[in-house]
Amino acid sequence: MERLELNGTRISPGVGVGSVFVALTHTKRRIPMRRIDAHDAEPSWKILTDARHAALKKLEGIQAATAKELGLQEAAIYGAQAAVLLDPEAAKDLRRWVMDELMAPESAIQALLDKFGKLFDSLEGGDMKSWAADLRDPWNSVLEELSEGDVEAARSGGPGSLVLVAEELTPTLVVSYPREKIAAIICSRGGRFSHGAVIARSYGIPTVTGLDAVDERARSGQACVVHGDSGVVVLNATAEEQESALTLSAERAHVRGVLASAAKEAGHTSDGTEVKIQVNIESPRDLDLFDPEIVNGVGLFRTEFAYMERPSFPSVDEQKEIYGAVLDRFPGKPVTFRTLDIGGDKSLRYFSTPEEANPALGWRGLRLSLKWQDLFLMQIQALRDCRAHGGVHIMLPMVTTVEEIRQAKDLLLTISGTEDLGVRFGVMIEVPAAAMALPDIVKEVDFVSVGTNDFTQYLFAVDRDNPWVADLYQPYHPANLRVLRYIARVCQKAGVPATVCGEMAGQRKGAFFLAGVGFQGLSMSPLFVPEIKALLRQVDIESLRETARQAARASTVKDALSILELSTAQAWQKVVESVGSHKT
């Protein structure tokens, strides 16, 4: 196979070397046509047949359980679904597509679904449409089985050995595969600030997107080198390329290692001004990736990921276990639990929300919690029950108005009654309207945290997942910098602690700007903590204030960036000298 060099969008830095593993992810979109090599035809047909049998077995199990619970008549529907999977015509088509036309198993099923679609589209009437759904549904469960088999196959790879290839970088993709096996991720689509990107960065997985149809062009098993810093990806990389990439990766690990050993020291600037450094996590499992001693608690626990990894809603007791496990690792330190933030590009497969034309402007975060109050109350109850651990902070996402905050506080009262809830209560500022309402909001809360990922998307009216408008997504534009400075000032004046937990906080220039305008805390992926702490130790607070002032005064993003980058480059040079390495 020929060497192929591709250029894409840099999502997460670092160098990854491994063999391609084409992931079969099921988004709501069509499965792309993927061809297989002739020698893979027989094993692929077996994979498809096994998945069909597994789906059949599950349907038969559901049929038996339903018959017991509701009676034979109700159970008959599952019998009919099983019959769909036994259709000999469908089996003949699938066999031909895989064995003769060399379609991947999932692509063959998509072809079958398309065939049904065409057949029924040519007929009229509502009944026809629902029959079409009845025919498609069982085959969708075969796809689900294939997907599970796919994850199992990934588990058998060695540590850090796989380059995960998929059509789109979604949060589900990143959390579905065993993290320790993944050397890098490459995708056809996925914005720099999408949730998938945020998670890939926080796991420290080198990631590149915007690689045209890479999921169709790459073949499992190909040697691949991924340069997350430059966006260059090489398929069928030569042995020398693989070796030099591995050396580069080891050098980076060396710098990281040296910085990590100094990371227990509290975050501060060279003159001793404290900057609290916290972490963003998605699961108690993340706690195995770093030493909790290096941070001042958790600034953002994205609780929705604990929901996403499961087949159904967690009970209050299950939630208590998850939250308690995190609190136990941070005795005496704050742990900020963000209440369920689903909607937009984060969904739960067991909870369907209506199709929306503009999901980012729709039903997400707190808006959903105020509607589905039971879900919200169960979460609050679990957190209230964890208060004996100490340090529980509850934070609401996607707040727009002060009225919403009051409504949420009324709901908290239904849990606490006349007692003190025993937790600290705060909100995320992610919507520009909330920033402008901040003088009223600070009277209602114990703390504020700015989610700059969403804040930027709403300020600039650019979908954070949409590559077509990605150029306009500009966290370092003076327009954004000025609002951030305003938020820091309002909070300072009111004496309410303000932190930033969006991606800017873990970026060199972001950390400098945010500390310079007076945010007291920065919450970031654990991976960035040693580096940001080391950088802050190189500068005094007065010079950070001056740099921030100049950046906010600039009129273009280019000018603001060059001011910030000059300052971080000088500081980084000092860090590198102190580490005794010339590579960064």
Would you name the residues annotated as active-site residues? 195, 501
Q: How far is the CB of 280 from ligand PEP (least distance, A)?
A: 7
Between CA 159 and CA 181 the distance in angstroms is 4
If one asks whether residue 463 binds ligand PEP (CB under 6 A), the answer comes out as no
Nearest to 180 by CA among 206, 155, 152: 155
330 class by beta-carbon count within 10 Å (0-12 exposed, 13-18 middle, 19+ buried): buried
Q: Which of 454, 463, 465, 531 binds Mg ion (CB under 5 A)?
A: 454
Measured N-to-C along each axis, helices 478-494 and 452-460 cross at an angle, to the nearest 10 degrees, of 130
Q: Which of 451, 497, 506, 516 binds ligand PEP (CB under 6 A)?
A: 451
If one asks whether residue 343 binds Mg ion (CB under 5 A), the answer comes out as no
Q: What does the DSSP assignment read for 387-425?
A: GGGS-EEEEESS---HHHHHHHHHHHHHHHTTS---SEE
Q: Which range in 118-126, 183-191, 205-213, 450-458 contacts ligand PEP by CB under 6 A?
A: 450-458
Q: How far is the CB of 451 from ligand PEP (least distance, A)?
A: 3
Q: CB of 84 within 8 A of CB of 103?
A: no
Q: Which is nearer to Mg ion, 66 or 278 (CB)?
A: 278
Binning the chain into helix, strand and coil, the percentages to the nearest 5 are 55, 15, 30
Q: Which is nearer to Mg ion, 145 or 341 (CB)?
A: 341
Beta-bridge partners for 300: 280
Q: How far is the CB of 430 from ligand PEP (least distance, A)?
A: 5
DSSP class of 100: I
Return the SS3 of 542. Answer: helix
Q: Which is nearer to ligand PEP, 383 or 395 (CB)?
A: 395
Q: Which of 63, 66, 107, 453 binds ligand PEP (CB under 6 A)?
A: 453
Greatest alpha-carbon span in the chain: 77
Q: CB of 510 within 8 A of CB of 532?
A: no
Between CA 419 and CA 290 the distance in angstroms is 36
If one asks whether residue 172 binds ligand PEP (CB under 6 A), the answer comes out as no
Site string (398-437) toward Mg ion, x via CB under 5 A: --------------------------------x-------
Q: Contacts with ligand PEP in 272-301 (CB under 6 A)?
A: 300
Strand pairing report for 232-235 and 4-7? antiparallel
Q: Which range in 79-87, 183-191, 400-408, 448-456 contacts ligand PEP by CB under 6 A?
A: 448-456
Q: Contacts with ligand PEP in 500-529 (CB under 6 A)?
A: 501-502
Kindly determine how many residues on this chain lie close enough to bind Mg ion according to the rule CB under 5 A.
3
Q: How far is the CB of 96 from ligand PEP (least distance, A)?
A: 45
Q: How far is the CB of 365 from ligand PEP (least distance, A)?
A: 8
Q: 3-class secondary structure for 193-210?
A: CCHHHHHHHHCCCCEEEC
* Partner from Mg ion, ligand PEP, none contacting 575, C-beta within 5 to 8 A by type: none
Residue count of the chain, please give it. Answer: 584
Between CA 549 and CA 512 the distance in angstroms is 11
Q: How far is the CB of 487 from ligand PEP (least distance, A)?
A: 13
Q: Would you tell me how many other CB atoms lie within 10 Å of the CB of residue 58?
A: 15
Q: Which range in 205-213, 446-454, 487-495, 508-516 contacts ligand PEP by CB under 6 A?
A: 446-454
Residues contributing to the site for Mg ion (CB under 5 A): 430, 451, 454
Residues contributing to the site for ligand PEP (CB under 6 A): 198, 300, 302, 341, 430, 451-454, 501-502
